[in-house]
Amino acid sequence: MGSRQIVEKSLTLLRSLPRISLNNIRDNPGSKKTQKRGRGQHGGDKHGSGNKGSGQRQNFMRLGYETGNNPFYLRVPQEHYYRGHHHRRQYPPLSLLTLQRIIDTNRVDVTVPIDIASIVKTGFYSFFPDQKHFGINLIDEGVDIFEAKINIEVQWASEQVIAAIERNGGVITTAYYDPHSLFLLRNPKKFFETGQAIPRRMIPPPDAIEYYTSAENRGYLADPDQISEARLKLAQKYGYKLPVIENDPKYNMLCERKDPRQIFYGLEPGWVVNLKDECILKPKDEELKRFYSL
Amino acid sequence: MATVLRSRCAFARLFTRKSNRILNNTIDSVTGLIPESQSVTFLTRQYSNYAKSPFADRITEQYNYEIVKNPPEWKYVERLMPFETIPQVIPKESYPGQWVPPKDEAKSLPFFISRTKNHDIPIYMETTFKGNRRITKIKKIDGDIWLMNDEIKHLLKTKYKRYVETRVHELARFIEIKGDYVNDMKEWAYSKGF
Amino acid sequence: MNIYVRSRLFRSNLINNLICFYSTSTPEVIDQNDRVLIDDSDETTARENEIEKKRNKSGLSAAHLNIMNGRRPYETPKHLSHLTVKHNRKLYGKYGSESGVNPSLCWPTKLDIQEALEYESVAFPYTIREVMESAALRKQEEKLKIQKRETDIAAKYAKLEQWKKELRDKLAKKAAEAESAKIKKERLVEEVRRHFGFTLDPRDERFQEMLAKREKEQRKLEKQAKRDAKEKMMFAKLQQKNVEIKDTPKR
């Protein structure tokens, strides 16, 4: 009898109580552990660390150290395949699958040319020019599902990727940017707020020039005639019919390219863009004009 | 770095004086000559720095420039500006990029999983203890979470023929499933239309 | 800046109206130089300051309030860096023409341009065409090198069978010689043994003596055989000559 009364009483109490929420909860009893490490003359003793040596002093040897022996990891002769890798140009990958997903979710506008600035803007591509990153390497993951017709500019692309983009009637260009330009492309707003004039893009270093002048890689310094020839050749190699760009309603967009000295689409070197006043300052001084047109 | 550059430039100065080279950071058609005073100027690379930046009142140059308000090129600038919010997905016939759109019929179900701000389904795997404990976590659940829990348990039990441990957090609106069932759960959620 | 000025104007107008209400003086005059009016009376400025203070509910400092409203934080420089070109450019970039910065500062000075040009002349000493040409040349050279090596190998490979045969013959000849020498020696030893009628230790003096003798004999025999062969050959040659001599006159 008594227990039932208690149950009923507690149930009525529970009904009148507010619903459980963040402001009236607390930890379960015993869920928080108290400090185990005893203090005082004998309370602490060795605190569970054992007696003598590395264990007690918690000064463990570095990994692989064999107390004066020639360590195993140094006993085997090495071959330095990656020597100097931190000086080489890095091209972090972006897959065609991700690119398709970016396009599907309307993160980039396919009615205008796509370059590294618009890719970085989507947030799907992490890019750090200070870590020797030199731009996008478009890789062939998702090469079969890719369906978008785009005018894209990347920094590195394989043959399959070029074929996948051109099969859909798109255009791909590989272009080199020096690190300074890449910093601007990564965050154009920040650059415009510094109030500097847009600089020129530098020419590629000698070891990269071969890549960016060859029509097979759709380099930005290659001869356009050779590129159209290479497009046809690639279409024959992979067995697809090359769509005729000239008859395309998007012909003007597909033909849009940057000047080898240009960093942003439509903005020339030497201009100052002011975001507050929404105006562009164009130099009229002869010397400035000469410098920026070099 | 600075010393290296300085020495390199000194070498270049000698070199240029000897052979009178042309300035070569140019696209082929345009070539400019190095100014004659270059052998006199002390050259270091000036990185952006307040300490190295000269005082504004010392600058004597007054360049001629033109301020273009509402320029036709402003659309190119607008293109470069970052998104203020993540853009909404415009409905299309097909999504080849493996993104699955939410369906309207899911709204009539007694429970609901809302999409994240990136239009993804909030089903994740959480690994702890160096990958030894794998937990599938379904977040952002609305409606009858217990019913959803029962359905998930039943689904996984029929598929894998074994008991599946789950944990329901009613307050924080998530369910945790012991084990790696991320792909199963995503498939299930997409089939439901979340 | 504009907003700030406008609010001040607005407020002074309000005050003017108030003054008008009390003193019925001409408002046009006051409108023209309201600043003077504000400066004139300490009381009004104090009041205005108080209103301004009360209006700033955020409790932000003047500089922060300016930044929040899109104005440059302060007119007077507070630090040496605020005098620099870099800072002035930033002010212009962020706050536009209202910042009062001369936009001509945004471009590099003539010295900067010169230095940039010199830097580029060192950093990029060749034009694209030159680099392309040198790259093509290098490629061609490498190709030639490989080609040369390949032709070299091909020529050597053609001779390989002949060389192999030569080597094999040489080895076989050497082995045959060694074999014959061994047989000869064995025969000698055997002969010596037969001479004595018992097996003698090869290191024995008698044995050595006998061996030397036998060898001498052998050599003699060989010499004789050689001489005979020579004579025979000469004889044959002479005969042939005779035959030839006999033959020629007939023709």
Counting residues of chain C whose pLDDT is more than 70, the rounded percentage is 83
CB contact (8 A) between residue B80 and residue A264: yes
pLDDT attached to residue C249: 60
Q: What predicted TM-score, i.e. pTM, was given to this entire model?
A: 0.70
Counting residues of chain C whose pLDDT is more than 90, the rounded percentage is 53
Q: pLDDT tens digit string along C33-79? A: 444 454 557 899 999 989 988 888 888 888 999 999 999 999 999 99
At C110, the amino acid letter reads K
Query: DSSP for chain A?
Result: -HHHHHHHHHHHHHHHSPPP-GGG--PPTT-SPPP----STTTSTTTT--SSHHHHHT-PPPTT--TTS--HHHHSPP--TTTTGGGS-B--EEEHHHHHHHHHTTSS-TTS-B-HHHHHHHTSS---GGGTB---EEE-TTTTT-----EEEESEE-HHHHHHHHHTT-EEEE----HHHHHHHH-HHHHHHTTPPP-PPPPPPHHHHHHHH-TTTTBTTS-HHHHHHHHHHHHHHHT-PPPPGGG-TTHHHHT----TT-SSTT--TT-EEETTTTEEEEE--HHHHHHHH-
- Residue in A25, A104, A121 closest to B97 by CB: A104
- Return the closest-CA partner of residue A229 out of A215, A243, A212: A215
Residue B42 in tokens: 């002390």
pLDDT band at B194 (very low <50, low <70, confident <90, very high): very high
ipTM of the complex: 0.76
Q: How far from each other are the two terminal CA atoms of chain C, in whole angstroms?
A: 134
Residue B105 in tokens: 């019929």
Check whether C18 has a pLDDT greater than 50.
Answer: no
Q: What are the distances in angstroms from CA A175 to CA A178, A180, A234, B174, C130?
A: 10, 15, 20, 46, 19
Burial label, A73 (beta-carbon count in 10 A; 0-12, 13-18, 19+): exposed
The Cα B143–Cα B113 span in angstroms is 9
pLDDT attached to residue A110: 94
Report yes or no: A102 at the B interface, CB cutoff 8 Å. Answer: yes
CATH number of the domain bearing residue B126:
3.30.780.10
Q: Residue B64 domain-assigned?
A: no
- Residue in A104, A121, A284 closest to B65 by CB: A284
Q: Residue B151 domain-assigned?
A: yes
pLDDT attached to residue C27: 40
CB contact (8 A) between residue C125 and residue B21: yes
Residue B41 in tokens: 């100027």
Query: DSSP for A181-221?
Result: HHHHHH-HHHHHHTTPPP-PPPPPPHHHHHHHH-TTTTBTT
- Residue in C104, C121, C129 closest to B25 by CB: C121
Q: Residue B76 domain-assigned?
A: no
pLDDT attached to residue C171: 97
Residue C9 in tokens: 């104007």
pLDDT band at B14 (very low <50, low <70, confident <90, very high): very low
The domain total for chain B is 2
CB contact (8 A) between residue C85 and residue B67: no
- For residue C130, the chain A residue with the least C-alpha distance is A206
Instruction: Give residue A147's Cα distance to chain centre.
Output: 22
Residue A219 in tokens: 């380099």
Check whether B106 has a pLDDT greater than 70.
Answer: yes
Q: Neighbours of C (≥3 Cβ pairs closer than 8 A)? A: A, B
Q: Residue B117 domain-assigned?
A: yes
Residue B128 in tokens: 């702890």
- For residue A204, the chain B residue with the least C-alpha distance is B25
Q: Which domain holds residue B12?
A: 2-33
Q: Residue B47 domain-assigned?
A: no
pLDDT by residue for chain A (294 residues), tens only, comes to: 578 899 999 999 989 988 888 888 899 988 888 877 778 777 778 887 888 888 888 888 999 999 889 999 889 888 888 888 888 999 999 999 999 999 999 999 999 999 999 999 999 999 999 999 999 999 999 999 999 999 999 999 999 999 999 999 999 999 999 999 999 999 999 999 999 999 999 999 988 999 999 999 999 999 999 999 999 999 999 999 999 998 999 999 999 999 999 999 999 999 999 999 999 999 999 999 999 998
- Residue in B21, B34, B63 closest to C107 by CB: B63
User: Per-domain residue ranges for chain C?
Assistant: 53-109, 160-247
pLDDT band at C221 (very low <50, low <70, confident <90, very high): very high
Across B59-63, B73-77, C192-196, least confident range: C192-196
The Cα B53–Cα C112 span in angstroms is 11
pLDDT attached to residue C55: 84
Residues from chain A that touch C135, judged by Cβ atoms under 8 A, are 206, 209-210
Check whether B65 has a pLDDT greater than 70.
Answer: yes
